[in-house]
Structure 1
Amino acid sequence: MSTHAKVKRITVPEIRARKGAQPVVSLTSYHAHTARYIDPYVDLILVGDSLGMVMYGMETTLGVTLDMMIAHGSAVVRGTERALVVVDMPFGTYEESPEVAFRNAVRIIKETGCTAVKMEGGARLAETIRYVVDRGIPVMAHIGLTPQSIQVMGGFKAQGRVKEDWAAIEEDARAVAEAGAFSVVVEGVAEPLAERITKQIPIPTVGIGASPACDGQILVLEDMLGLSPKPPKFVKEYATMGAAIAGAAEAYAEDVRARAFPGPEHTYKMKKVDGEA
């Protein structure tokens, strides 16, 4: 009798140990099917609140709810067995107090089965990160361009492009590392600053628009598949799925209108009953 060997899921200590070693490969996913396709190849899957824009057509991530994150996080966990799954805490679910953040993080962990949560913010969140980590929930931090703060930032703008801004971002990186975050997403940051931060802190930096100097990289899956109409400058498209989907839909429409689909091979026939000719 053959037995199916259960795949061991990547752990938080294993990701932390990648610092300065093998790069951490990360992508986003929001549903079970795409998660299943990428699971064998990535180390970490982020169920990002970017799903508000990618899946729901929102202009920002600010309208994403905790229930939405839990629903999509549960689907991704069900579709994976190898990658470490991290779920974003949406805007308004962790800023009020460490206690509120912990309560909502517990709900995410319990209801999705994921391993860790992610919070946006640097030094101002250090107390909250420490509180949550000390109570047994791993936290991934997020600094630089933080989409939940775009009202304050004035839009999706790259950070650290003038040296006068470096000190505050470097302090954010040090603060989240000292608070106990196991890794930190560094988004939309000038390359020299990303390199400095990566050298300064003991946890892996996972870059998105932050240069190859980081300890790993993450992209929104739909961006790298060519499904986004206007992907950011830092995205490399590894496929052109948008064009493929449009082409398939066009061919399907032509077949239906010409009554060429469904064909005999797609149609159920009557069963023969004993005695019938």
Structure 2
Amino acid sequence: MSVNKIIKRVTTSTIKDMKLRGEKISMLTGYDFSTARALDEGGIDVILVGDSAANVFAGYETTLPMSLDHMIYHASAVSRATKRAMVLVDLPFGTYQGSTEKAYEAAVRMMKESGAHALKMEGGIEIIDNIKKIVRAGIPVCGHLGLTPQSIYQFGDFGVRAKEEAEASKLKSDALALQDAGCFAIVLEKIPAKLATEVSQSLHIPTIGIGAGNGCDGQVLVVNDMLGLTKDFKPKFLRQYLHLFDDIAKATAQYVADVKALDYPNENEQY
């Protein structure tokens, strides 16, 4: 029996139950219909429509250029492709860090127009009132702590966060605050594995790690990185399951050669 027939749709309740029974949660990013369809067929639990599309899809240096319209476009494509996976989508920079009312309006628009099932928001106590309002409206929210890419210019680099006691202590407090605000899960990005394990054990909601060790309740990677499609990006935490950049380049070179040699199309490939 295929994975897709076991669970019709992964929900917030599904992943909370997975934490309770000790089953790890699998998450990958996805930005388009074809990729999302393949991930869904492969049995992924959650597809994150990340604002990392700015980097891997559009070639920007940071995630900051992504707009609400951009994210709705990508999330809609992914939502149309999935039958089992939960579709989680990032609210982009500038849509929720300010006024509570504007954050709520952005969240409602995303849910109404994209077909996504839940939202992800970066930050802790600083945005807690905005999260509470969105959750009260019945919209599931996943938190995100540690390295938060929307704040990269404040951090100055993409290094490991919360190595010092003060930042680690704040992260622990923020995690509890997010849980109390009603978040159904929290992504922990690029923090020491020991800290991630401690935070995960202190919460009754799941944690999803990226560069945060194996003590989290689940793991997420950017799909382009996992498939080896992102050239020359090999951080310590990344495991590449394929090397698609090289494979695509080789296939392209062969196609070029076949076209120029009049080998393609052959008699069986024409009408």
Q: Following TM superposition, by how much is the alpha carbon of 1:6 offset from its aligned partner in structure 2, in angstroms?
A: 11
Instruction: Render the CA deviation track for 1:240-265: whole Å, top value 9, x for unaligned.
Output: 11111011001001111111111111
Q: Following TM superposition, by how much is the alpha carbon of 1:161 offset from its aligned partner in structure 2, in angstroms?
A: 2.0
Question: Which residues of 2 match residues 1-277 of structure 1 at below 5 A?
Answer: 8-20=8-20, 21-40=22-41, 41-229=43-231, 230-268=233-271
Question: RMSD in angstroms over aligned alpha carbons?
Answer: 1.3
- 1 CA distance for matches of 2:166 and 2:122? 22
The code of the aligned residue for 1:45 comes to I
Kindly tell me the number of residue pairs found equivalent between the two proteins. Answer: 264
The SS at the match of 2:14 is: helix
Instruction: Render the CA deviation track for 1:108-154: whole Å, top value 9, x for unaligned.
Output: 11111111111000111111111100111000110000000011111
The answer to which of 210-219 and 98-107 deviates more is 98-107
Instruction: Render the CA deviation track for 1:15-73: whole Å, top value 9, x for unaligned.
Output: 12222521111000000111111113111110000000000000000001111100010
The SS at the match of 2:188 is: strand
Residues 7 and 81, structure 1, Cα contact 8 Å, conserved in 2 = no
Instruction: Render the CA deviation track for 1:180-236: whole Å, top value 9, x for unaligned.
Output: 000000000001110111011111000000000000000000001001121322110
Give the TM-score, by structure 2 length. Answer: 0.94
Give the TM-score, by structure 1 length. Answer: 0.92
- 1 CA distance for matches of 2:6 and 2:269? 37
- 2 CA distance for matches of 1:120 and 1:165? 16
- 2 CA distance for matches of 1:127 and 1:155? 28
The SS at the match of 1:126 is: helix
Give identity over the alignment, percent: 44
Residues 70 and 112, structure 1, Cα contact 8 Å, conserved in 2 = yes
The answer to which of 9-18 and 217-226 deviates more is 9-18
The code of the aligned residue for 2:168 comes to W
- 1 CA distance for matches of 2:177 and 2:84? 30
The SS at the match of 2:18 is: coil
* Distance change in 2, residues 1:65/1:231 (3 Å): farther
Question: Mind listing any 5+ residue stretches in structure 1 that lack a counterpart?
Answer: 269-277
Q: Following TM superposition, by how much is the alpha carbon of 1:166 offset from its aligned partner in structure 2, in angstroms?
A: 1.2
